[in-house]
Chain A
C-alpha cells in the first residue's frame, strides 16, 4: 500500500467552478501535512500547510481529518492559472517526507 494516495485525475473544470481534491495517508503517526503545486515541467512549490483546525488562504481551503487519515484541498472560483498538478505531502516522525502522485487540474475557459 502506498504511503500517500491521490486520485490522479485529470480534473477538467470550467472557470469559476469549485473543485475538491482528497488525499489519504497510511501512517497514523504522520505529523505534518502539505499541499504543493507543480506546473508542467517545473519544480514543486508549497501551496499551503494543512493544520488540524483547517486553514484557508484566499480561494484555497485545506482540511485534515486525522481519524479517517485524509487531507482535502478545496479551490473556489477556479482561475485558468490554477491549472497544475497538486501534490499531497505527508511528513512522519524523523522527517521522512512522502509525496502523493499528484492530481492534475485543468481549468477550461
Chain B
C-alpha cells in the first residue's frame, strides 16, 4: 500500500517569499492533517480536514498560512509571506476515519528553511 506522499522534500526560500507544499494521502483516507515540527519540538497540528471540510484550524496562523483540500483527496498548504520562524518540517498525515482512536500515517515531510 502506498504511503502518504509529500513534495517537495526540501525547500529554501528567503523571508517574505511564498511557498506551497503538496500532500497526497493514503487512498481512501477521509482525514488529512498538516503539522508543523520545529527542531527539538513535537509536531503541532495546523489544520485538519475531513474529506474536503475543515474540522480544526485553531492553530493555523491565518494571516499568512492557508490550506485547501478541494476534492477531498490531495491538499496544499501555503505560506505567504514566509518569516524566519516558519523554518520547520511540515508533516502531512492521514487517517482512515475520524475517530479519535484512528492511527495517523505520516508522510516524509517537507523541510523548509527560511533565510
Q: Enumerate chain A interface residues (CB-CB to B < 8 A).
A: 4, 8, 31-32, 42-46, 49, 87, 91, 93-102
**Is B56 part of the contact surface with A, judged by Cβ < 8 Å?**
yes
**Is B66 part of the contact surface with A, judged by Cβ < 8 Å?**
no
Contact status of A100 and B42, CB under 8 A, knowing A46-B103, A95-B48, A95-B100: yes
The count of residues in chain B whose C-beta lies closer than 8 Å to any C-beta of chain A is: 23
Query: Which applies to chain B's interface (DSSP): helix, strand, loop or mixed?
Result: loop
Which of B43, B104, B106 lies at the interface centre, i.e. has the most chain A CB atoms within 10 A of its CB?
A: B43
Q: CB distance B56 to A101 under 8 Å?
A: no
Q: CB distance A95 to B44 under 8 Å?
A: no
Q: CB distance B103 to A94 under 8 Å?
A: no
**Is B96 part of the contact surface with A, judged by Cβ < 8 Å?**
no
Bound-complex Cα distance A37 to B109 (A): 15
CB distance from B2 to the nearest CB of A (A): 15
Contact status of A99 and B98, CB under 8 A, knowing A42-B108, A43-B108, A94-B56: no
Query: Which applies to chain A's interface (DSSP): helix, strand, loop or mixed?
Result: strand
Contact status of A95 and B109, CB under 8 A, knowing A43-B91, A44-B43: no
Q: CB distance B48 to A99 under 8 Å?
A: no
Q: CB distance A91 to B100 under 8 Å?
A: yes
CB distance from B56 to the nearest CB of A (A): 6
1/0 contact string of B39-76 vs chain A (CB within 8 Å)? 01111110010000001101000000000000000000
Within 8 A of A (CB), among B67-98: 91, 98
